[in-house]
Amino acid sequence: MDTAALRGLIDELTPSLTEARRTMHRHPELMYKEERTSALVQRALSDAGIEFRAGLAGGTGVVAYLPATRPDARGAIGLRADMDALPIHEATGAPYASETPGVMHACGHDGHTAMLLGAARVLARVEDRPNPVTFVFQPAEEGGAGGKRMCDEGAIDGSLLGPPVRTMFGLHGWPRLQLGVVATRPGPLLAATDNFHITIKGVGGHAAFPHFAHDPIVAGAHCVTALQTIASRAVDPLDSAVVTVGAIHAGDAENVIPGSCVLKGTARTLRAETRALVERRLREIVRHTAGAHGCEGVVEWEPGYPVTDNHPEATSTFFEVASKALGESRVRLHDAPGMGGEDFSFYAQRVPSCFFLLGLLPEGASAMPDLHQAEFDFNDDAIPTGVEAFCRLALHA
């Protein structure tokens, strides 16, 4: 299908995709509770005559499939979108703002889902499809590892629908990138994300007699400071790592030294070796720092998402296809990895994959509300670009 015809189809569908996006925005659902969103996806696929399987990854995941129209087709091209919202009270003031108190689409997953639905509907009307296409609508990207569950349940290995996926693509709306522009880079694009819970066990007592106690708050405060040396002194200056303590809980009264102090935080890294180093040094620092204050430090390390690592060949394919489709001026090499995380990384561990960023920043604007802010709203003007990028990759990768 030539460019004019494809864009004509996209333009025809854009109003209904915008309506679907705003419906999802009005009715956001937290991870593994995306029942209404999943039902919307299933209705749209059914109306388009697209085969799908539902009920995955806890019940809300959906995999859809379009066969190739050529007998010599290779493995499938996989396209993925996430569907879940965040526990944030919306402050956009939009007429379609969330009707669910304390829950909103602050990360643009409503837009991702609408664009993947658009790509499926467009491709279903394309007569010449050289590649089979697998569409993955996953729950629980926001901390629930829905992508891993989709992979484990056969979303891309050919056990549910169609042949195994040979190359996977996904996108994320990006408020710091100009509207109509796409960007990515080979290798690490987003970080591995791990969480830690530290319990400092001391001996409580009267605040007026600290010499009879072993103060876990003082030990915890020293741990917070000491943990900052992991990035500054243990990690190669040319590498990247973030160690952030985001919560401290201890005590209930002004005149009581509590028996324990709890620290909670996150670690972000871009290399497997650095990830292991950060965990090892964190455990050592907590143990010895707590011990120096007469306390015991207990670390619970919770592995999160792996590094989102773009495969060189898949990324090269993305740049080639996107440049031809959108024009070289609209396709950028992203300058550096970011320390946010993405469970698209689980797909990238299974098959060659490329994750790319889709610009949302309106023309002439210097900034817009960022992801995970209460004022954030997906820019509907980005929908045609996202749909076209998905379609071109499905047809030409």
The edge-to-edge listing of strands for the beta sheet with 241-249 is 241-249, 260-269, 192-201, 296-305
What per-residue confidence (pLDDT) applies to 155? 98
Q: Which of 141, 153, 309, 377 is catalytic?
A: 141
Q: Which of 29, 34, 82, 84 is catalytic?
A: 84
Could you read off the pLDDT of 294-329 as tens digits, one per residue?
999 999 999 999 999 999 999 999 999 999 999 999
Quote the CA–CA distance of 163 and 178 in Å, as a whole number. 36
CA distances from 245 to 174, 225, 233, 291 (A): 26, 10, 17, 19
Quote the CA–CA distance of 387 and 240 in Å, as a whole number. 33
Could you read off the pLDDT of 227-240 as tens digits, one per residue?
999 999 999 999 99
Beta bridge partners of 197: 264, 300
Which residue shows structure tokens 């891993």?
Answer: 148
CB 106 within 8 A of CB 170: no
User: Is 84 an annotated catalytic residue?
Assistant: yes
Whats the size of the chain, residue-wise?
A: 397
Which residue shows structure tokens 């689980």?
Answer: 346
Three-state DSSP class for residue 283: helix
CB 226 within 8 A of CB 289: yes
User: Is 279 an annotated catalytic residue?
Assistant: no
Domains defined for the chain, CATH in brackets: 3-189+307-396 (3.40.630.10), 192-305 (3.30.70.360)
Q: What share of the chain is helix, strand, coil (3-state, %, to 5)?
A: 35, 25, 35
* Average pLDDT value over all residues in the chain: 98
What per-residue confidence (pLDDT) applies to 73? 84
Quote the CA–CA distance of 378 and 25 in Å, as a whole number. 9
What per-residue confidence (pLDDT) applies to 12? 98
